[in-house]
Structure 1
Amino acid sequence: RAVLQLVEEGAIEKDRLLPQALAAHAGAQGKAGSGYDVASCCYGGLMSWVPSSGGIQQHEWPESLHIVAAYSGQSARTSDFLARLDGLRARNAKALDLELSWLNEPVRGLERAIADNRVDDMAQLMGECHARLRVWDSRHNLGIVTAGIAEMLKVAAEMGVAAKISGAGGGDSIYALGSDLKLLETLSEKWAVAGFSCVPISLNNSGVQQKDNASA
């Protein structure tokens, strides 16, 4: 209600709106979920966000970088994956922290590549992010990489395109990045032929804003 009140008042100060939106999200999710989707919707565009500090850095989307995405057809629940993660932490919290740090290494490199506008490195590091996630998923049998996701990744790999899992809980969608738009369009066509739903993507650089007494 507080979030809607801010929007209705037209007082959309994003630094003020985000904490309340995150609180509403946490309440709806039983305090589960990272909140990254909430932050990205609030601010819009290409951004990095550190939940622990609240630090937000926005970046320009490179003109030569293109993206395509597709849905596997099997929805994923964040709460299910978080419950499995809690189980790992209960068994060995120190080991889990080390594994999460290992997963995070290429993410930091990806952030630097984005900040420096290194398009080819972005695609390579994104692929590395997913490669590590897949190893970790297999090690603990978490079920993050479903059969549909694995099939879409296989198609992308056969074409030499960097792709990564995305979506709620990490198990329902995939996206691919690259500088060759025609190659990505061909990938989308192959995903569609295989029975997956390709998702059109457009970048909203403005985030939440007021338009004619309605939020956008």
Structure 2
Amino acid sequence: ALIKAYVALSELPMSSIQQYKLGALATLTTPNFKAGSMGDLAAATFGGIIRYQKFASPVIFNWLDQHRYVSEMLAATWPDLVIEPLALPADWSLLVGWTGSPADTQALLESGDLTDRDAAKQLLAQNTAPLVGMIETGLRQADFDKVRAAMQLSQEQLFAYASRVGLAYVTPALLSLLSIATEAGVGAKISGAGGGDNGIALTNDATVATAIRDAWQRAGITPLPLAIAFN
């Protein structure tokens, strides 16, 4: 927000990708956030629906250690970084439910069985990469069933990861959130850290969307009044 405001106020000729990179550089130098995906920065910078792949962190950290000029880093190609806009069909709705307890993503990821964690992370990345591609294809083709299936398979992979490392990931409230959505025939998954955080669902039926929100409320889950912001 600060970067966007300053760029607008000063009428700086900075592209969206440069603004994203500047935000990422600031975040990488902030200890509590430097290990994050930076996907939230990409979403906030570009708006809408995006396909995102994180840059190669070691390369950027090396640039920072070399004290390169910020302007040089903003102009450079960042290895592995992918940010591509995608469209959401007009009759599809994103639902967000909050179970009422914040959770620290990094703290949860660093907990659990230390011996198995790295191998489990690699397996998670390997198994979910094709699912991201499946969601991308589904959105491009407006194929709701494909996106729904990919979301559910992605959630199954998250369950498997949590089980492998002994991670306290799924609370009863989050399980209820998922059950209500999947029983309604929509795609759903936990979004964020788990452990009492958020869940999302995607539907192509307004009546079903209303029914899910009502059922979440009855289960003590707060449907957040959020919508996707398009720049």
TM-score tier after normalising by the smaller chain length: 0.7 to 0.9
- Percent sequence identity is 24
User: What per-residue deviation string (whole Å, max 9, x for no partner) do you get for residues 27-80 of structure 1?
Assistant: 333412111011100000011112122221101211121221110101110221
1:51 to 40, 50, 54: 54
Aligned pairs for 1:109-128 (under 5 A) are 109-128=134-153
What CA distance in whole angstroms lies between the structure 1 residues aligned with 2:117 and 2:218?
A: 43
Q: Which residue of 1 aligns with 2:168?
A: 143
Q: SS of 2:111's equivalent?
A: helix
Q: Which residue of 1 aligns with 2:90?
A: 63
C-alpha displacement of 1:98 = 3.0
What CA distance in whole angstroms lies between the structure 1 residues aligned with 2:22 and 2:11?
A: 15
Q: Which residue of 1 aligns with 2:99?
A: 72
What CA distance in whole angstroms lies between the structure 1 residues aligned with 2:116 and 2:221?
A: 37
What CA distance in whole angstroms lies between the structure 2 residues aligned with 1:175 and 1:94?
A: 27
**Does structure 2 conserve the Cα–Cα contact (< 8 Å) formed by 1:67 and 1:177?**
yes
Q: Which residue of 1 aligns with 2:7?
A: 6
C-alpha displacement of 1:92 = 6.7
- Structure 2: give runs of 5+ residues left out of the alignment: 56-79
CA change 1:93–1:176 in 2 (3 A) is closer
CA change 1:43–1:83 in 2 (3 A) is same
153-162 or 49-58, which moves further after superposition?
A: 153-162
- Structure 1: give runs of 5+ residues left out of the alignment: 207-216
**Does structure 1 conserve the Cα–Cα contact (< 8 Å) formed by 2:43 and 2:50?**
yes
Quick check: 1:175 aligned with 2:175? no
Q: SS of 2:84's equivalent?
A: strand
Q: How many positions carry a matched residue from both structures?
A: 203
Q: Which residue of 2 aligns with 1:32?
A: 35
CA change 1:83–1:181 in 2 (3 A) is same
**Alignment TM-score, normalising by the size of structure 2:** 0.78
